[in-house]
Amino acid sequence: MAIIEIKKNIYWVGTVDWNISSFHGYSLARKGSTYNAFLVLDDKVTLFDTVPEKFKLDMYHQIHKLVKPRDIDYIVVNHVELDHSGALPFMVEKCAPEKIFCSPMGEKSLLSHFHKPEWPVQVVKDGESISLGQRDVHFMEARMLLWPDTMFSYIPQDRLLFSSDAFGQNIATSRLFDDEHDLNLLLSESRHYYTNIILPYSSFVQKTLARVRESGLEIDMIAPDHGVIWRSHAGDILAAYEEFASQKVKAKAVLVYDTMWQSTEKMIKAVGDALMEEGIEIRFMSLKRFHHSDVMGEFSDAAGLVCASPTHNNGMLPLMADFLTYMKGLKPKGRVGATLGSFGWSGEAPKAMAEVLETAGFELPVEPLRVKNVPTHENLAQCREMGRALAQKIKDKVAAQS
């Protein structure tokens, strides 16, 4: 890759992962991703973050275009997860840095990942600064964005924030700046990324955004560790994060299902018809067609979730169990739900799904609904009734938040 100067004497030295299709194996990343790392040329030559281990030579060659790796004085580790630190042992060996800066939790994480107590690690606490010569680096703890060790690094002289995983998107591109892309596409990718990766920590996002506002930091460039660098639309991505973290929902329902002989599909379609008649935007998603991360992307701004699965071996179908486990972990707030499905002889699935939704904090205005084998017209009328009741609750939710 070509190196790219993002600010005077500050260079992108990361890698583009054109071929990746899944982010850490749990969220699809169909457009690939990037692992951004940055080199600051100052009195103290400083590397911010690294790349996965398998890209270590790419990074090494990137750096070689600018300086000899031995000339690197400092390495800042904003986050120890292996997509940003996999190449760190190699780089430490090649650079022999004077110091490696990380957060207090980062120190523990470095040790338990790499088992190198001899590394020259220096812990920096929230609010601490170091000087690189012409520039300072101001450190800001950003716990749970995305891990306990995460911190942001801010260079006031350049009004530049290195934000680790926050404000990222999974896009592989050689056009590294936001204004080289369609803004709506970037914000849509940012929402998908946020919902699947950062959503459970929304309260931390709100706290961090409030701190950034109150501190009066002037930010004209945000450089996350994945995807494009925000230089023309830094304000837009900050505003988008306020919105994502608020979990504001609209009059929309995602209808997610799996089906064996189409009885359950008929039932959930009837629920969807009634929702539509009541003016609710609906989105059908068969789990055979859509990955759990795509469903969550759609669910991100929806007030309602309808889950339908037939009963299989006294429980729900495995794709539904997969989805519910994933969804519950992401801790969406303030949603309403309903469950239903057909069965042959025992019929546990609707109740089992409802139990998961309940423990995930959903309001369930309608009892789980089950139908033996193939639904009759009366059964489908019950499904439509379920849809109408849910629609009312969705409207109440949306009205309550404005």
Partner 1 sequence: MDKWVCEVCGYVYDPAEGDPDNNVPPGTKFEDVPDDWVCPVCGAAKENFAREA
Between 144 and 238, name the residue whose CB sits nearer to partner 1.
144
Strand ranges in 226-343 using DSSP code E only, listed in sequence order: 250-257, 281-286, 302-308, 311-312, 315-316, 336-343
Distance of closest approach, residue 330 Cβ to partner 1, in angstroms: 13
Between 99 and 331, name the residue whose CB sits nearer to partner 1.
331
Q: What is the sign of the dihedral through the CA atoms of 144, 231, 235 and 296?
A: negative
| Separation of alpha carbons 1 and 37, rounded Å | 13
Between 147 and 299, name the residue whose CB sits nearer to partner 1.
147
Tokens of 294: 């795509």
Distance of closest approach, residue 148 Cβ to partner 1, in angstroms: 5
Distance of closest approach, residue 108 Cβ to partner 1, in angstroms: 10
Distance of closest approach, residue 202 Cβ to partner 1, in angstroms: 10
Instruction: Calculate the alpha carbon distances from 77 to 153, 197, 219 in Å.
Output: 9, 20, 21
Between 279 and 361, name the residue whose CB sits nearer to partner 1.
361
Between 103 and 263, name the residue whose CB sits nearer to partner 1.
103
Residue 116 φ/ψ, nearest 5 degrees: -125, 75
Between 223 and 330, name the residue whose CB sits nearer to partner 1.
330
Between 89 and 200, name the residue whose CB sits nearer to partner 1.
200
Angle subtended by helix axes 202-215 and 234-246, to nearest 10: 140
User: How many Cβ atoms from other residues are within 10 Å of residue 158's Cβ?
Assistant: 17
Distance of closest approach, residue 200 Cβ to partner 1, in angstroms: 8
| Separation of alpha carbons 197 and 110, rounded Å | 22
Distance of closest approach, residue 121 Cβ to partner 1, in angstroms: 17
| Separation of alpha carbons 227 and 259, rounded Å | 37
Chain contacts with partner 1 (rule: CB under 8 A)? 105, 141, 143-144, 148, 200-201, 203-204
Distance of closest approach, residue 188 Cβ to partner 1, in angstroms: 27
Looking up tokens 């990718």, which residue turns up? Answer: 189
| Separation of alpha carbons 63 and 283, rounded Å | 47
